[in-house]
Structure 1
């Protein structure tokens, strides 16, 4: 990545790769202590061993990115190497004058955003919704995730892809960072720079088909700062009754609407405006304890820490969360609310099974500059059932 192509890749800065890798290693080591972790590259490699899956992926990617000239070359690669190049990029072979004079390094560019695995697919109940990414540079991520869920023997499940529906419109877009499952019957969705009203209407139409009760809380977000690209950048759940929020958007909003849509028995029962997300959830018998991103004392601290994903924590289990240690005021606020602070390097010294609440921190100084946090870097596919009583 260079300053010239960073913006095209949806970045505002260039990461130090060595430091980012170190931080990501910390992140992965924490996940491995709590759950089985799949890496997309490994899943894709296994899927590419299936002829039908490989043909589907290559046909779709080459057509979508106008690189049909690469198709035959990609077919010659082993599943492992093909997986690597589909994610890390295919370098240009400078065998023509046009290619020789080109400023591009890649015929098929790397997927710079793919470590934010939350966005390209969403698990809702027993179904996987394939995201319609708002930017073309991320569409390959959705193609890969759809193939993984359709073809991998360990993950084979029903996928729903808006592009393949008869009512598809180019105005539809939605991404996983905007979709939060609050309870079995409650979903919060961000109306953001990445998720459109048409995208939300598509999701609602799909929820209607389930025939059971669903409450959809839609929160409009600012579109002027890139740190507000998804709902999970201002609001995440830490426990059944606890959230982390960026208060200026979630509580102190003036121009951003909150809408509650009730879907029951295959139709919209009603749509009404609410004061904010916590108020809407309170009416559904979830009385949230809200912890402030950046703490409560200083507006500037809240702004700075929200910018670096201070509201984007990942719940490993109810009350056991993972986030960036660089957001000191946020971590301090969590500690004041009973969360024991554990640095990832010290995790082996603690018995987290006997802790009711804890926050595990990774360094995150470099990863945060990529524009997302620990929730962004995960995509849960299976959760243990929670007793909501």
Structure 2
């Protein structure tokens, strides 16, 4: 059995990728926070304390915690990885040749630790000591030549492990595009992931990790809406079928609103047959079951069979091979449900079947989870939640104990 991989959302968590809030969050201002997709400017020291407590809870439950920036620094010790990272970050057309040449020299001379900081915290116009040309003259002193990446906090979005394959996603928002490029660099160059098969890619159709739920071995749900496109869902389906990673993909249209940007802002699994769900949308949530027909078209591509839409919970239970997928409501009424959904009440992280990490502030949802027999591990999130993301958003499981089912002896490969 591979040491890396996951076949569900709830298998016991063995290894998880996190990003501890860092200097990139100190670069948020009232002028750029909207562009960088934050609702508020967090108190960084408190956010770090909250994140450290979150990481310790995972360790206390037996999980190995990996940090993205530490992996990136180790990756950038390789000359090939360094040159790829530098070329990629300088590829934008907004820099101009003069500034691009200066920044290439600056980044090339940096240590791996310094280069990691430049790539994640960014470089402001007033921080350059050369490259003086039209670009630097016309930009404001506090404009960024390389933007910071505050959303690195949400490691779930830039990659998803499906069985023993790492799926590199393609983030829809321009402010987040570089996150997937750095994640892809780590999986391609870091010795920890040598030989890991990869699917998708940062250059392909948009798929975001928050929209991908591993409902059961061989069963994947993909939210399609504001961030993941229909073409992205189709690309994912084709690749997981081709590599034998799934037998059915459920495409789930979701409302294109900020509060429901990803499928995991609407629902997450907390046990093998239990899901916490935003009740204000459950009646309208539908799924299209997508399977491989076994046939190919004139171009040699697999022909996908797309079933008519049916209620999501019904289609999911049928695909999972269970009698019923029980749903636990966020909140107690439409108003409290909307409040706790906005505060990431649905965005939970299962660390084992029936054990889930939640934000402590969602009292009503947490009480409903406990009443349903779920062990709740509450964490503080007053500052961590300022970017609109909960425990699931902040974590990318790299290894879970397999649940079995399809490929019960372990992961393929």
Give the TM-score band, short-chain normalised: 0.7 to 0.9
1:348 matched residue in structure 2: none
Is the 2:213–2:221 Cα contact (8 Å) retained in structure 1?
A: yes
2:114 matched residue in structure 1: 81
Residue number among 155, 159, 163 corresponding to 1:121 in the alignment: 159
Residue number among 338, 353, 367 corresponding to 1:332 in the alignment: 367
TM, length-normalised to structure 2: 0.82
Is the 2:124–2:141 Cα contact (8 Å) retained in structure 1?
A: no
Task: Tell me: CA distance 1:65–1:15, structure 2 relative to 1, closer, same or farther (3 Å).
Answer: farther
Task: Tell me: CA distance 1:233–1:65, structure 2 relative to 1, closer, same or farther (3 Å).
Answer: farther
After superposition, residues 113-152 of structure 1 pair within 5 angstroms as: 113-152=151-190
Residue number among 91, 104, 118 corresponding to 1:71 in the alignment: 104
1:31 matched residue in structure 2: 58
Task: Tell me: CA distance 1:325–1:155, structure 2 relative to 1, closer, same or farther (3 Å).
Answer: same
Deviation string, structure 1 residues 14-68 (Cα, Å, up to 9, x no partner): 2222221221111111122221111011000110011111111111111147543
Question: Following TM superposition, by how much is the alpha carbon of 1:269 offset from its aligned partner in structure 2, in angstroms?
Answer: 5.8
Residue aligned with 2:292, SS: strand
Question: Following TM superposition, by how much is the alpha carbon of 1:274 offset from its aligned partner in structure 2, in angstroms?
Answer: 3.6
Q: CA RMSD in A?
A: 2.1
Is the 1:23–1:367 Cα contact (8 Å) retained in structure 2?
A: yes
> d(CA) in 1 for partners of 2:158 and 2:246?
26
* Bigger shift: residues 77-86 or 312-321: 77-86
2:15 matched residue in structure 1: none
> d(CA) in 2 for partners of 1:89 and 1:152?
22
> d(CA) in 2 for partners of 1:161 and 1:64?
22
Residue number among 283, 288, 291 corresponding to 1:252 in the alignment: 283
Structure 1 residues not aligned, in runs of 5+: 340-357
Residue number among 370, 378, 381 corresponding to 2:398 in the alignment: 381
Deviation string, structure 1 residues 157-192 (Cα, Å, up to 9, x no partner): 12234456xxx5xxx211000001111210000002
Residue number among 175, 183, 198 corresponding to 1:159 in the alignment: 198
Structure 2 residues not aligned, in runs of 5+: 1-27, 296-301, 409-413
Matched, 1:367 2:395: no
Is the 2:171–2:202 Cα contact (8 Å) retained in structure 1?
A: no
Is the 2:184–2:202 Cα contact (8 Å) retained in structure 1?
A: no
1:200 matched residue in structure 2: 233
After superposition, residues 1-389 of structure 1 pair within 5 angstroms as: 1-33=28-60, 34-64=62-92, 66-67=94-95, 68-69=100-101, 70-92=103-125, 93=127, 96=132, 99=136, 102-156=140-194, 157-162=196-201, 172-211=205-244, 214-224=247-257, 226-249=258-281, 251-253=282-284, 257-263=286-292, 265=294, 267-268=302-303, 270-284=305-319, 285-286=321-322, 287-294=324-331, 297-339=332-374, 358-387=375-404
Residue aligned with 1:301, SS: helix
Task: Tell me: CA distance 1:234–1:212, structure 2 relative to 1, closer, same or farther (3 Å).
Answer: closer
* Bigger shift: residues 27-36 or 308-317: 27-36
Task: Tell me: CA distance 1:72–1:135, structure 2 relative to 1, closer, same or farther (3 Å).
Answer: same
Is the 2:217–2:246 Cα contact (8 Å) retained in structure 1?
A: no
> d(CA) in 2 for partners of 1:223 and 1:103?
36
> d(CA) in 2 for partners of 1:43 and 1:302?
38
Task: Tell me: CA distance 1:65–1:384, structure 2 relative to 1, closer, same or farther (3 Å).
Answer: farther
Residue aligned with 1:373, SS: coil
TM, length-normalised to structure 1: 0.87
* Bigger shift: residues 84-93 or 60-69: 60-69
